[in-house]
Structure 1
Amino acid sequence: MAYRTFETPQMSRRGILRGGAWLTAGAALAGVPMGRAAMAKGGSTEWRNVAAMVEKYVGERKVANMVATLGWGQRDALTIAQGDLTLGSGVVADADSLYRIYSMTKPITGMAAMMLIDDGKIGLDQPLAEILPAYANMMVQKTYDGSVADVVPTVRPITIRQLLTHTAGLGYGIVQNGPIKAVYEERGLVPGQVSRLPIPGLGRAQAVSGLAEFADRLAKVPLVLQPGTKWSYSVGLDLLGRVIEVAGGMRFDEFLRTQIFEPAGMTSTYFRVPASEVGRFTTNYGILNGTPLPIDPARASIYLDNPAFPFGGAGLVSSPRDYDRFLRMLLGYGVIDGKRVMGELAVRVGTSNLMPETATTKGTWVEGQGFGAGGRVSDGSFGWGGAAGTVAFVNFQAGLRANLMTQYMPSEAYPIHAAFPKAVVDDLAAMQGA
C-alpha cells in the first residue's frame, strides 16, 4: 500500500451540509464485547431507547419519519421504523426508503480514495499537485476569512491525507464568512444542493458545471489556513472526487458505482434519484418553530435532476438498507457476503486517526478526537452525520453498526446527531446488565 508518510423559514448556510454535530459513542462502546449481550440480544424490545426516540419524534410530528438500522457483525440488521415518506401520505417509510444523506457521502468518498491508495495509484502523503498540477503554488489568506488579496504562499504542499481529514486549508461556503465566502459563491464553488424552491437564506448561487471545472476554479481561490495546521470543515472531499477520477481513470460517479456500490450490493444509492424510484423517496422538511414545512418535496425534488457534478462531500441519496451494507462492509474489513470490496488494510487505515501530526483540532467540532477518511474516529468508532438529520457509525471493538435516517433541516434544529448514539449506548448498557 502506497502510504507515504429554523427561528424563521430562513435556513442557516452554516448548517446546510454540516454533519459536525455527530457525537461519537466510541468511549462508551469500547468496553462492550461482541459476546453474550451482542449475540443473544438485539431485538426491538432490547433497543428500547432507540425505539422510544423514533416513536417520540414521529409521534410528536417533529419529523415525518425515522428509520434506524442496528446490526452486529455480519448479521442482518434490525430495522426500527415509523412514519410516512411525506407527512399524511400514508406511504410508510422503511429500510428501502430513500434519504438525502448529505455529508454521510464523505466516508464513502474517503473509502474510494483509500482503495486507490491500496492499489498504489495515489499515496496518502502524496502532494496533491502531483495529480492536479494547478495546486502547485497555492496562496493562503493572512487573516482567516479576511481579505482575499492579502495572501502569502503555502509553507507546505496540500496532500491526500489533508484532503481526507479537512486539514488542507480549503474553505467551505457553508462555513466561511466575508470576502472568501463571496468568492466561493461567485465562482460556483457550491458543492451541494437543497431544493428547487427559492428558500430565503439559502442563496441562489449556481454550482459550476463539471468536477474538473470545479477543481480548476478552486485552485485559483486562496486557502483559508496553511495546509496541515488545523482541522477545518471544507470542500476537501469534493475535491478528492476529482483526484479519484484522475487517478482511477474513470468518472468519479462511475468509480463509486462500479468499485463500491455494485460490489457491496448497494442498489439504492444515487447522485440522481431515478424516476422509477420516486415512489420510495422521502420529502425533506425545514423546521419552523418546531413545525416541519416541506422544502424539497419528493416528487418535485432537486435530486430528480442531474447535479452540476457528483458532490463527493454531500451529494448522495441512499436507503437505510444500503448504507447499512456500507457499514457492514467496513465492519467486515472490506468483505460483505463473502465478497471482498476493499482491502483489509485500506479499511483499517481509513477508519483510523489520519490527522497530520502538525494539525490541531482545538476549538473545532472534533476537538479531542481523531479523523479518518471522511469521518470522525474515537475509541474504535468511525462515522459521520448529514445535514438533514442522518447519522451513522461503526464500532469495531463492539462489532456494532448503527444508522439513523430522517429528513429535516437544519440538522441542529433537533439534537438527533447526539441523541441517537446516546440511545444506542444506553440500550447496550441495559443489555450488558440484563
Structure 2
Amino acid sequence: MLSQYVDNGDLPGLVSLVSRAGETRVEVLGNTAFDGPPMQRDSLFRVASFTKPIVAAAAMILVDELRLSMDGRVDTLLPELAATRVLRSPDGPVDDVVPLERPITLRDLLTFRQGLGETDHPGIRQREDELELRTFGPPVPRTPLEPDEWMRRFATLPLQYQPGQRWMYSTGSHLLGVLIARATEQPLEEFLQERLFEPLGMRDTGFTAPDPTRLTTAYVGDDLLDPAAASQWLQPPSFPDASGGLISTADDFHAFAQMLLTGGDRILSPAAVAEMTTDHLTAGQRTAAADFLGPDTGWGYGLSVSADRYGWAGGLGTLWSTTPAHQTISILLTQRALWTWPEELFAEANSPAW
C-alpha cells in the first residue's frame, strides 16, 4: 500500500510498524535519503512531536510519585511565571493586560491550556521574534538559548488567554520540559533516560543521534532540510526541546506505545495512563481546535484522543495511532515533512486497512 510513494519518488524511504495482540509486522522500504544507503529497521528518525507524549509520561511519573501535583501551581518551580499578565482581549494590544485569574497548573501544561501557544496574534509573534523565542524549528534550527534564559524571556510575554480557557498547541511542552528538569534537579534528557528509555529498552532514543551512520536525511517536500552527515542532531542541544526534539526508531517508539497500551508496565500507574489517554477538552475548546486537531478529536496529555483511538503525529513525517479495543498500534516513520505529504498518502496512512 505504501510502497508506491517510495517507488514514485514522493518519499526516499519509510519504516512502518503494526502490532496487534502480540504480533508485530515491520516494513522497511527505500533509502535513508534520495541519494543515500538502504533504509534499515533501526534507522533513526527525527520524530518531532512524538516527543510530546513521551515528556507528558515523564511528568506523570512525578505525579505518581507525588513529586508534582496536577492542580498545583507551577510557578513554585517556574517562578518566572508568577507575575504573568494576560491580554484583556485575545486580539487586543500586547500592552493592554490584566492579572491572572488563577495560577497556571501542571494540568494546564499537559492539556495545552496554559494560555499561550502557537499564535497568529501579530503583536505577540513580533515580540517572540525579537526575543528569539520562536527558534524551535520546525524543528530546525534549534534555539540558541539555554532553558533558564528562555524562561526569563518567555515570562515577559503576555498570555493570550486566561489559564484553562483555550487549547493552544505546543508551548505547554516547552514549559513542561523545564518544569521536569527543575523538579528532578537533573537535565531533562537524563531523567528521560533513567525513568523511561532504559527501563523500556529504548536504546536509540534521545536528543542527539546515537549513531550518525543510521540517521535519515530530512526533507520539506523535495527540498533538503537536515542532511544526515551535517545534522544538528549530531551535537547536544543547548535546550532539550520537550516539544519536538527527539530522535528515535520504530521499535523504540513502539516500546513506548506498548507501555501505554498495557496500562503502564510498571513505568506508570494505570490511572496515569488513563488520564493521559482521556480527552480533557470541553466541547467549546474541541470545536475551537478542530481546524488543527480534526473533527471529533480532543486532547489528552501530549496526544490527541478520538472515540476509538489515541496517538499523534510528528511534523517532519511521522504518524502514530493506538486503537485499544483491537490492541493495535500503528507507526509510520518517513523523512518528508508532514505538511508536504500527498493527500493520498495521508488517506492511506490513516486507513484502518493497515
Same fold, TM-score > 0.5, yes or no: yes
Aligned equivalents of 1:181 and 1:416: distance in 2? 33
Aligned equivalents of 1:391 and 1:416: distance in 2? 15
- Corresponding residue for residue 306 of structure 1: 236
Aligned equivalents of 1:297 and 1:194: distance in 2? 15
- Corresponding residue for residue 189 of structure 1: 133
Which stretches of structure 1, 4 residues or longer, exceed 4 Å deviation after superposition? none
Q: Do the aligned partners of 2:70 and 2:107 also contact (CA within 8 Å) in 1?
A: yes
Q: CA deviation at 1:270?
A: 1.6
Give structure 2 stretches of 5+ with no counterpart: none
Superposed, 1:12-411 pairs within 5 Å as: 52=1, 54-73=2-21, 75-89=22-36, 91-144=37-90, 146-172=92-118, 175-190=119-134, 192-193=136-137, 207-274=143-210, 277-287=211-221, 292-335=222-265, 340-355=266-281, 360-364=285-289, 365-366=292-293, 368-409=296-337, 411=339
Structure 2 counterpart SS, 1:69: strand
Q: For each residue in 1:31-84, what CA deviation from the matched residue of structure 2 results, as whole angstroms up to 9, or x when unmatched?
A: xxxxxxxxxxxxxxxxxxxxx1x21211110110111101014x2521012110
Cα RMSD of the aligned pairs, angstroms, is 2.2
CA separation of 1:208/1:147 partners in 2, compared to 1, >3 Å: closer, same or farther? farther
Q: Do the aligned partners of 1:121 and 1:247 also contact (CA within 8 Å) in 2?
A: yes
Q: CA deviation at 1:374?
A: 0.4
Structure 2 counterpart SS, 1:77: strand
Aligned equivalents of 2:313 and 2:333: distance in 1? 10
Structure 2 counterpart SS, 1:361: helix
Q: Do the aligned partners of 1:369 and 1:376 also contact (CA within 8 Å) in 2?
A: yes
In the alignment, residue 320 of structure 1 is paired with which amino acid? A
Q: CA deviation at 1:223?
A: 0.8
Structure 1 counterpart SS, 2:220: strand
Aligned equivalents of 2:344 and 2:51: distance in 1? 18
CA separation of 1:359/1:153 partners in 2, compared to 1, >3 Å: closer, same or farther? farther
Aligned equivalents of 2:130 and 2:238: distance in 1? 15
Q: CA deviation at 1:207?
A: 2.2
* More RCO (CA 8 Å, sep 6+): 1
Q: Do the aligned partners of 1:392 and 1:404 also contact (CA within 8 Å) in 2?
A: yes
Normalised by the length of structure 1, the TM-score is: 0.76
Q: CA deviation at 1:381?
A: 1.8
Normalised by the length of structure 2, the TM-score is: 0.92
Q: For each residue in 1:159-196, what CA deviation from the matched residue of structure 2 results, as whole angstroms up to 9, or x when unmatched?
A: 11111111111223xx4341211211222223623587
Q: For each residue in 1:284-339, what CA deviation from the matched residue of structure 2 results, as whole angstroms up to 9, or x when unmatched?
A: 1121xxxx12221110111112223100001011111111111111111122xxxx
